[in-house]
Amino acid sequence: MGEFQDPSRWIRRFHPAADSGVRLVCLPHAGGSAPFYFPMSRALSPEVDVVSVQYPGRQDRRMDPAIEDIGEYADAIAAEIKPWLDRPVALFGHSMGAVLAFEVTRRLERDLGFVPLAVFASGRRAPSRYRDENVHRRDDDGVVEEMRLLSGTDAQILGDEEILRMVLPAIRSDYTAIENYRAAPGLTVSAPITVLTGDNDPRTSLEEAEAWRGHTTGAFDLHVFSGGHFFLANHQDEILKIVSEALSTSLPGLPGGSASIA
């Protein structure tokens, strides 16, 4: 297929690694944006070509209509990454991004016969584990309260009313999408799934994380870390090692990495 040149509004490639033998597609959390994965991209390059998805309704896509349905999200992302399937691909998603990684993988396998090397599902319960949550129906103060609970947003941003007015619509749309998402217990992918979870995540129990096992017909692995929903911040080296080793197992020519994503 050759190197894809035409830039996409959906794709950010911070450290192009054209000669890499593997590509990692990264999907942010609800309200998140592509630069969340800048440190991971920097750490894995040039062994891994990392691309990060930029959702509509935020940053440079602030004027693009937001999406409020996981199926619509997954359809759009699967279409956007087709040109990037010129080499083996793995997907990494955190929180809402983990569900999107699963649903995009379903579409790649079903529609293209393309089986990713791995799906890394971080900070999210299994697709079949449902909780009745209503953050998307709260007022602005209620949404901010949830953001503080999950400790995923810088306090300076929370204190800036102008910035909040810009980002809250995108956050609310993402929560609408993920909180209305439903998946049947028997829904599976062929790609192996590696789950990463915090032992004190208020939105995912260990049982709910383990339940991802039922959503793959391939290999399954579970890694539990100390911390809450954004446990990644305190375990960057370990997570990077897990990703590198999983990819190097699939591609023996890829060296296992130990760089920091800090």
- The DSSP secondary structure of 104-126, one letter per residue, reads HHHHIIIII----S-EEEES---
The predicted pLDDT at position 77 comes to 98
H-helix or E-strand spanning residue 167: helix 161-179
User: What residues make up the domain containing 228?
Assistant: 11-250
pLDDT at 6: 46
In tens digits, the chain (262 residues) has pLDDT values of 344 444 689 999 999 999 999 999 999 998 889 999 999 999 999 999 999 999 999 888 988 999 999 999 999 999 999 999 999 999 999 999 999 999 999 999 999 999 999 999 999 999 999 888 777 677 877 777 777 776 655 455 455 656 666 788 888 999 999 999 999 778 999 999 999 999 999 889 999 999 999 999 999 999 999 988 889 988 999 999 999 999 987 776 555 543 433 3
pTM (2 decimals)? 0.89
Task: Please give the pLDDT value at position 262.
Answer: 34
Q: Who contacts 135 (Cβ-Cβ below 8 Å, separation ≥6)?
A: 142, 143, 146, 175, 179
- The CA-atom distances, in angstroms, between 74 and each of 25, 67, 77, 152 are 13, 10, 5, 23
In a domain, 106, yes or no: yes
CATH code where residue 17 lies: 3.40.50.1820
| 204 assigned to some structural domain | yes
Indicate which residues carry an active-site annotation. 95
Cβ distance 75 to 48 under 8 Å? no
Residue 6 lies in a domain: no
Q: How far apart are CA 260 and CA 238, in angstroms?
A: 9
**What is the SS3 assignment for 91?**
strand
Quote the pLDDT of residue 179: 92
Distance CA 147, CA 158 (A): 9
**Using omega within 30 degrees of 0 as the cis cutoff, is the peptide bond preceding 46 cis?**
yes
Residue 256 lies in a domain: no
* Cα separation, 32 vs 14, whole angstroms: 16
Residue 4 falls inside a structural domain:
no
**Residue 260 in domain:** no
Q: Does 1 map to a domain?
A: no
- Based on the structure, what is the number of domains in the chain? 1
In a domain, 231, yes or no: yes
